[in-house]
Amino acid sequence: MLPLPKQICILCASHEGGELGICKPCLNDLSWHSSPQCPQCGLISDGSICGSCLKAPPSFDATHALFSYDYPVDKLLQHYKYKETLHLANTFAALLTNKIQASTHSHKIDRIIPMPMHATRLKQRGFNQALEVARLMGNNMQIKLDYQSCQRIKYTPPQASLSLKERIKSIRGVFNCAQSLQGLNIALVDDVMTTGASLNELAKTLKQAGATHVECWVIARTLPKPY
Ligand SMILES: [Zn+2]
Ligand SMILES: [Zn+2]
């Protein structure tokens, strides 16, 4: 038997990074999103559907978020996004797969669709960070990956520079789905869910194309601080 490759832990530089590239103590210290949460949007609740989902239900039916978007996960994701640590896609995909497979409210999924990136931005960046994770998760879970049915047809400014109201306005009509998704259960994969405006708009587009069930699988969810 070959010895397991010794990987350096990306966080503490110990030689115990193992297959994931993050050592056990550092893994334990990550900002896992394990608080009781709204099954629909992933925000903290008593475990039932939250008030805002009841008042204005989003177009997606469920959310699975691996981490809260806090240190050091925020830094890891920023590195990952700019391709400095592309192998992190494996780590994120493995951890998110485990979380979804262990979930008590997992749903049968027919297709995985990564958050589409506009062609102009794809050219600038060279890769779609959501697609890389979605591809690996499709392999892990034996679910068909679909990154072609749905396109981002409008170029929008980076969402981080916008207020919530501006985000919702700027994201309207951004996606186009060229194929029928009649009767399909779909999981959307994205790196960070902030307000959920993009995922909501994408879910809306997929439902208009016939999708029955749409859920969000995200690496990290921005959670409002309790103070
Ligand atoms: Zn470590
Ligand atoms: Zn909710």
Contact between 222 and 193 under an 8 Å Cβ cutoff? The reply is yes
Please give the full DSSP string across 6-36, using - where no structure is assigned.
Answer: ----TTT--S--TTTTS-HHHHHTS-B--S-
CA–centroid distance, residue 60 to ligand 2 (Å): 10
How far does the centroid of ligand 2 lie from the alpha carbon of residue 105, in Å?
Answer: 15
Measured from the alpha carbon of residue 9, the closest ligand is 1
Residue span(s) of the chain under CATH 3.40.50 come to 34-221
Query: What pLDDT, on a 0 to 100 scale, did the predictor assign at position 3?
Result: 52
Listed residue (198, 195, 188, 187) closest to 221, CA to CA: 195
Query: How far, in Å, from the CA of 190 to the mean position of ligand 1?
Result: 25
Q: Is the pLDDT of residue 181 over 70?
A: yes
Q: What pLDDT is attached to residue 5?
A: 59
Q: Which ligand is nearest to the CA of 196?
A: 2
Of 95-99, 160-164, 219-223, give the lowest mean pLDDT range. 160-164
Predicted local distance difference test score (pLDDT) of residue 145: 98
Residue with tokens 């590195």: 79
52 Cα: distance to centroid of ligand 2 (angstroms)? 6
Centroid of ligand 1 to alpha carbon of 84 (angstroms): 18
The vertex-38 CA angle with 191 and 139, nearest 5°, equals: 40
Phi, psi of 224 (to 5 degrees): -60, 140
Compare 115 and 1 and report the one with higher pLDDT: 115
Which listed ligand is nearest to 72 at the C-alpha? Answer: 1
CATH architecture of structural domain 34-221: 3-Layer(aba) Sandwich (3.40)
CA of 4 to the centre of ligand 2 (A): 42
Q: Which residues surround ligand 2, an ion (CB under 5 A)?
A: 38, 40-41, 50, 53
Task: Over range 101-127, report the average pLDDT.
Answer: 91
Distance 62 CA to ligand 2 centre (A): 9
Distance, in Å, from the CA atom of 226 to the CA atom of 224, rounded to the nearest integer, reads 6
User: Is this structure's pTM higher than 0.85?
Assistant: yes
Residue 31 Cα to ligand 1 midpoint, Å, equals: 14
Q: Which ligand is nearest to the CA of 47?
A: 2
Contact 216, 196 (CB under 8 A): yes
Tell me how far the alpha carbon of residue 129 lies from the centroid of ligand 1, in angstroms. 23
Question: How confident is the model over 30-59, as a mean pLDDT?
Answer: 96
Amino acid at 222: T
Contact 217, 64 (CB under 8 A): yes
pLDDT at 7: 84
Cα–Cα distance for residue pair 223/227, rounded to 1 Å: 12
CA of 160 to the centre of ligand 1 (A): 30
